[in-house]
Chains A and B, each alone.
Chain A
Amino acid sequence: EVQLVESGGGLVQPGGSLRLSCAASGFTFSSHWMTWVRQAPGKGLEWVANIKQDGSDKQYVDSVKGRFTISRDNAKNSLFLQMNSLRVEDTAVYYCARCAGDCHFDSWGQGTLVTVSS
């Protein structure tokens, strides 16, 4: 069974940093693109970033470029999101998801809440 478990969320002040992790199990992690998707409170879904199987290709939504970095450790079946220069508008539940095919998201974690507030 595919399992994705996020961690690392919490309360941080504007301008601060946070590192999210996603532990994957139940599938061959190194064979899949992986992604982060977020959802602000009461709002819809927003794709944040994708990373290729070997980490050689990364894509970001414009609003996080230069501030967020997606990475992975295939030896530890783990996905990460380093978030710097956090803004109030980054407040959201952050989901880790697995890409299938040309990257629809076929499995999702339970999410971790990031709150940016002073």
Chain B
Amino acid sequence: DIQMTQSPSSLSASVGDRVTITCRANQDISVWLAWYQQKPEKAPKSLIYAASTLQSGVPSRFSGSGSGTDFTLTISSLQPEDFATYYCQQYNTYPLTFGGGTKVEIK
């Protein structure tokens, strides 16, 4: 199985900060990586797919990059509604697997 490791597991940031979350796969997954945002008691929401393609309707302050085994999600200027948990997910190989999540909290 492909293991997805996210770092950090949590971070504290202020509104307006630039935030970067990393996701590492233990095997090459090309660009078959997605990012999701989840707020408490809510379903996840798709943000980015194919490593860097923004889902329709997602603000442009979100961006993704990477290929192979190393990926990043960047929020260029953190907004109040961005405080949430973020997950990466590989869809290169079954079983599909998620990272452990990164909780973004208010500083």
Residues of A that sit less than 8 Å from B by CB: 35, 37, 44-47, 50, 59-62, 95, 100-111
How many A-B contacts at CB < 8 Å in the complex?
58
CB-CB under 8 A from A111, the residues of chain B are 43
Number of interface residues of B (CB under 8 A): 22
Nearest-Cβ distance from residue A2 to partner chain B, whole angstroms? 11
Q: A-facing mask of B77-91, CB < 8 A → 1, else 0?
A: 000000000010101
**Which applies to chain A's interface (DSSP): helix, strand, loop or mixed?**
strand
Inside 8 A of B38's CB, which chain A residues have their CB?
Answer: 45
Question: Among the listed B45, B91, B97, B99, which residue makes an inter-chain contact with A104, where contact means beta carbons less than 8 Å apart?
Answer: B91
User: Interface centre among A37, A104, A108, A110, by most B CB within 10 Å?
Assistant: A104
B54-65 interface mask toward A, CB cutoff 8 Å, 1 = contact, 0 = none? Answer: 010000000000
